[in-house]
Chains A and B, each alone.
Chain A
Amino acid sequence: SQTIHQWPATLVQPVGSPLSLECTVEGTSNPNLYWYRQAAGRGLQLLFYSVGIGQISSEVPQNLSASRPQDRQFILSSKKLLLSDSGFYLCAWSGQYREEYFGEGSWLTVV
Chain B
Amino acid sequence: GIQVEQSPPDLILQEGANSTLRCNFSDSVNNLQWFHQNPWGQLINLFYIPSGTKQNGRLSATTVATERYSLLYISSSQTTDSGVYFCAVGSSNYKLTFGKGTLLTVNP
Instruction: Give me the interface of A with B, judged by CB distance under 8 Å.
Output: 32, 41-44, 46, 49, 51, 57, 59, 88, 90, 92, 94, 97-102, 104-105, 107
18 contacts between A and B (CB under 8 A): A43-B98, A43-B99, A43-B101, A44-B86, A59-B95, A98-B93, A99-B33, A99-B45, A100-B45, A100-B96, A101-B45, A102-B42, A102-B43, A102-B44, A102-B45, A104-B42, A105-B41, A105-B43
Q: Is the CB of A42 within 8 A of B42?
A: no
A98 CA to B90 CA in the complex, in Å?
A: 10
**Which B residues touch A98, using CB under 8 A?**
31, 48, 90, 93
Q: Is the CB of B43 within 8 A of A90?
A: yes
A99 CA to B94 CA in the complex, in Å?
A: 10
**Which A residues touch B100, using CB under 8 A?**
41-43
**Which B residues touch A101, using CB under 8 A?**
45
**Which A residues touch B88, using CB under 8 A?**
44, 100
Residue of B at shortest CB range from A57?
B94
**Which B residues touch A44, using CB under 8 A?**
86, 88, 98
**Which B residues touch A90, using CB under 8 A?**
43
User: Closest CB of chain A to B31's CB: distance in Å?
Assistant: 6
